[in-house]
Amino acid sequence: MTKRVEKGVEEGADLPDEIHDDFEHINDLWQEVYSSNVAKATEQLPAEVYRSGGLLNQVTRVQRENLANLEKDTLGYIRGRLDNTPPTHTSKLLYQLGNYGTDAQRLSEERVSIATSLRDIIARNIKLIETGIENQQTELQIGVRPGTQPSHNEQLKKERDSRLRSRAVREEQERAEKEKKEDDERYCFCHQVSFGDMVGCDNEQCPYQWFHLACIGLEDAPNGDFVCSFCQQQREVGESKDDDRENGENEDSQKNDVNDSSNTPATPNLTSLASKLNITDIDVAEKRVLIRCDFNVPLDKKTGQISNPARIVGALPTIKYAQEHGAKAVVLMSHMGRPDGQPNDKYSLKIVADELEKQLNQKIIFTKDCVGEEVEKTVNSAPKGSIVLLENLRFHIEEEGSRKDADGNKIKADQAAVDAFRQQLTKLGDVYVNDAFGTAHRAHSSVSGIKLDTRAAGFLVKKELEYFAKVIEAPERPFLAILGGAKVSDKIQLIENMLTKVDSLIICGGMAYTFKKAEGMAIGDSLFDKAGFEKVGDIMAKAAKNNVKILIPSDYVITQEFSNDGANKVVKESEGIPDKWEGLDIGPDSAAAFGEEIKKSKTILWNGPAGVFEFPNYAKGSNALLEASIEAQKNGSNVIIGGGDTATVVAKAGKEDALAHVSTGGGSSLELLQGDVLPGVDYLSERK
């Protein structure tokens, strides 16, 4: 009990016996809360376990608030009895004290249960950890330690090494966990025992089953159905892949309809992708060349005009090649925006036709639809060498295979209608060319549903495949990958694939905070990925096994306001990020360390910015990596930008021409690097 309360007891020594009895009961409860068992259990917890679930912190915080109220009202009760306060008031205080005492006892028991359970886990696995240390220590010292600057704080260094060793033997720990008793089963993202109020996920296949409310940010159990964030994410990914599968479910039969032995699907590796037919391999003379382009250009919100025609300009070499080599007609098709499967003037490609006329100095024939008898007549009657641009493909639900109604409900296209739509597109060409790498990861009708014998890559797709084949299958070493992004779970497949190929790996962006939390560093209100958190140990262990050097930021630019103008400061990993602060960029030490790693690498693959680059004050880290990459390129290295936000960083700086390759496909490049087969590429014909 605190000295202030003890002093109150002494002052009230002449209180009636019943008051002393009440007070002794409260004192017993107080001592229970601060029993040595709780203290010992808590002290023996490693920092990473104590912090990882956040459970003890949650219980402790509530417990302290409860004890503060208990102390306050206890003193009030004593003073009330000494001052002869009316009994009605002191009775209320006494009743409240009883509630506080009961809560204190419950919280104490809960805290003891958690702490003791976690201590037992460590005790059961300590031998496995000690055995693994000798085997893992050498590998861990080669590149696993975050950052590249040595720590001058020996205690911090020891603690960090201990945490890394523990994660490196996660597999052995998990095997030991399987031997635990039935009543010791683990649940939730935190993988801890059942206690307190919990809520079950309604997905019967959920790997976690039950969740502590504190771990999912809830105070009370939700009403109605509950699906955890992990299952929700898996459901969304599944729906996306289901759409792609449904859109391409008849592709095998479609390929069999085509009398061409080259239609056998390629083995999903990048070397085979480079062996696909490209436009220079085929004869286009006197043929209608049907080209899938990516004219999804950005429009100025105020004027409605094209703000950046880069994608149109990028398609010109393929268009000109077909014209110059005697094509009867060049038929262009593309999508723009998300019109949800129905006509919408806002997304009409008429504005693209106007831009093409300027770029080519030639009349462009624009059709009001992309399929139908009128479109066929227009294409077939076009003068030789004409360029025909079809209206937005996505004005038809059959292009993507589904759309969403006003309420956000998914409406799937009729498969017979999809087949008919694909057949109508097929009638518009004699040979098919895909020059839209940005949509190659989608099994849409215009991407993998055209039933023509000859299907080749345009110059843009050809360039993408050649660069990715080189960087993944035969990179010049040392090979460095820089991976950013918000969630570890979103890029887990990419990370694991890269760990089998690279020599070093930089983790930055929002993902870095999940890695640092796994090490025990406080991350305040920074981005945290609970699902990804569970994978960090496996990632680090795999990196150690493959001798991959992992670099994670050692300092951060943090703020209390998610905006460009909010006050900010730089903190080091030894300080951690305080509550109500969040990291938005890497700090100068990390930028310098990463820059050195970039400069000494011969192949650099960069996918994901270092911070919230949209705010100039937090774009410094990304710009520093860009400058280092440009310097490395000048010195003979190969720098590949994996599209998406990273390409935007490069474009903002106007440095596209300073690097070996800036990919035009965000989603496509990501899936390709993950090791996935791209439907649009797989559908192309093989060279004979």
Does residue 629 share a domain with residue 553?
yes
How does the average pLDDT of the chain come out, rounded?
A: 76
Residue 547 has pLDDT above 60, yes or no: yes
- The tally of domains found in the chain comes to 4
- pLDDT 10s digits, 418-452: 999 999 999 999 999 999 988 888 889 999 999 99
Write down the pTM of the prediction: 0.57
Q: Name the residue with higher pLDDT: 276 or 77.
A: 276
Does residue 461 share a domain with residue 442?
yes
Token pair of 30, please?
A: 């107080």
- Give the pLDDT score at 309: 85
Residue 102 has pLDDT above 60, yes or no: yes
Assign 153 to helix, strand or coil.
coil
Question: pLDDT category, 127, cuts 50, 70, 90?
Answer: very low
Which of 71-80, 183-192, 403-412, 666-675 has the highest mean predicted lDDT (pLDDT)? 403-412
Which of 435, 466, 497 finishes a domain? 466
Task: Report which residue type is found at 489.
Answer: S
Does residue 529 share a domain with residue 433?
no
Q: What is the C-alpha separation between 670 and 493, in angstroms, rounded?
A: 10
- Give the pLDDT score at 133: 57
Q: Name the residue with higher pLDDT: 333 or 208.
A: 333
66-80, 402-416, 602-616, 666-680, range with the lowest pLDDT: 66-80
DSSP for 533-580 reads HTTHHHHHHHHHHTTPEEE--SEEEEESSSSSSS-EEEEETTT-B-TT
- Give the pLDDT score at 221: 63
Residue 147 has pLDDT above 70, yes or no: no
Question: pLDDT category, 417, cuts 50, 70, 90?
Answer: very high
Radius of gyration of the chain (CA): 32
123-127, 142-146, 385-389, range with the lowest pLDDT: 142-146
- pLDDT 10s digits, 551-605: 999 999 999 998 898 899 999 999 999 999 999 999 999 999 999 999 999 999 9
Percent of the chain topping pLDDT 70: 63
208-222, 227-241, 479-493, 664-678, range with the lowest pLDDT: 227-241
Does residue 351 share a domain with residue 424?
yes
Does residue 357 share a domain with residue 305?
yes
Does residue 423 share a domain with residue 327?
yes
Token pair of 337, please?
A: 């925006």
Does residue 302 share a domain with residue 220?
no
Q: Report the Cα 341 to chain-centroid distance in Å.
A: 28
DSSP for 217-271 reads T-SSPPSS----HHHHHHHHHHHHHHHHHHHTTTHHHHHHHS--GGGSPPPSSHH
For the annotated catalytic residues, the residue numbers are 311, 487, 644, 667
Average pLDDT over residues 453-478: 88
77-86, 88-97, 291-300, 618-627, range with the lowest pLDDT: 88-97
Q: Name the residue with higher pLDDT: 25 or 311.
A: 311
Domain assignment of residue 211, given as a range: 183-228
Average pLDDT over residues 129-155: 48
Question: pLDDT category, 44, cuts 50, 70, 90?
Answer: very low
Sign of torsion, CA 444 446 450 455? negative
Average pLDDT over residues 475-504: 88
Q: Which residues contact 466 (CB under 8 A, 6 or more apart)?
A: 274
Average pLDDT over residues 43-54: 43
- For 389, phi and psi rounded to 5 degrees? -110, 120
Q: What is the C-alpha separation between 136 and 174, in angstroms, rounded?
A: 17
In a domain, 75, yes or no: yes
- Give the pLDDT score at 445: 94
CATH code: domain of residue 541:
3.40.50.1260
Average pLDDT over residues 166-182: 45
Q: Name the residue with higher pLDDT: 253 or 660.
A: 660
- Give the pLDDT score at 272: 55
Question: pLDDT category, 93, cuts 50, 70, 90?
Answer: low
DSSP for 315-375 reads HHHHHHHHHHTT-SEEEEE---S--TTS--GGG-THHHHHHHHHHHTS-EEE-SSSSSHHH
Does residue 479 share a domain with residue 458?
no
In a domain, 364, yes or no: yes
Residue 1 has pLDDT above 50, yes or no: no
Question: pLDDT category, 255, cuts 50, 70, 90?
Answer: very low
- For 681, phi and psi rounded to 5 degrees? -85, -45
Burial of 628 (0-12, 13-18, 19+ CB in 10 A): buried
In a domain, 593, yes or no: yes
159-173, 210-224, 276-290, 378-392, range with the lowest pLDDT: 159-173
Residue 8 has pLDDT above 80, yes or no: no
Omega cis (within 30) before 478? yes
What contacts 24+ positions apart, CB below 8 Å, involve 121-124? 121/49, 121/177, 122/44, 122/45, 122/46, 122/49, 124/176, 124/180
In a domain, 44, yes or no: yes
Average pLDDT over residues 647-652: 88
CATH code: domain of residue 203:
3.30.40.10
Which of 144, 172, 202 finishes a domain? 144
Residue 645: its H or E element: helix 644-653
- Give the pLDDT score at 230: 53
Residue 43 has pLDDT above 90, yes or no: no
Residue 141 has pLDDT above 50, yes or no: no
Residue 661: its H or E element: strand 661-662
- Give the pLDDT score at 5: 42
Does residue 494 share a domain with residue 447?
no
Assign 292 to helix, strand or coil.
strand
- Give the pLDDT score at 332: 98
In a domain, 68, yes or no: yes
Residue 41 has pLDDT above 50, yes or no: no
In a domain, 295, yes or no: yes
- Give the pLDDT score at 559: 95
Which of 11-15, 31-35, 177-181, 289-293 has the highest mean predicted lDDT (pLDDT)? 289-293
Residue 627 has pLDDT above 90, yes or no: yes
Question: pLDDT category, 364, cuts 50, 70, 90?
Answer: very high
197-206, 280-289, 665-674, range with the lowest pLDDT: 197-206
Does residue 615 share a domain with residue 491?
yes
Q: Which residues contact 20 (CB under 8 A, 6 or more apart)?
A: none
Residue 495 has pLDDT above 70, yes or no: yes
In a domain, 152, yes or no: no
Residue 671 has pLDDT above 60, yes or no: yes
- Give the pLDDT score at 582: 95
Does residue 482 share a domain with residue 457?
no
Which of 466, 500, 519 finishes a domain? 466
Q: Name the residue with higher pLDDT: 432 or 179.
A: 432
- Give the pLDDT score at 361: 94
In a domain, 209, yes or no: yes
Longest dimension (CA), the chain: 113
Q: Name the residue with higher pLDDT: 598 or 532.
A: 598
Does residue 375 share a domain with residue 307?
yes
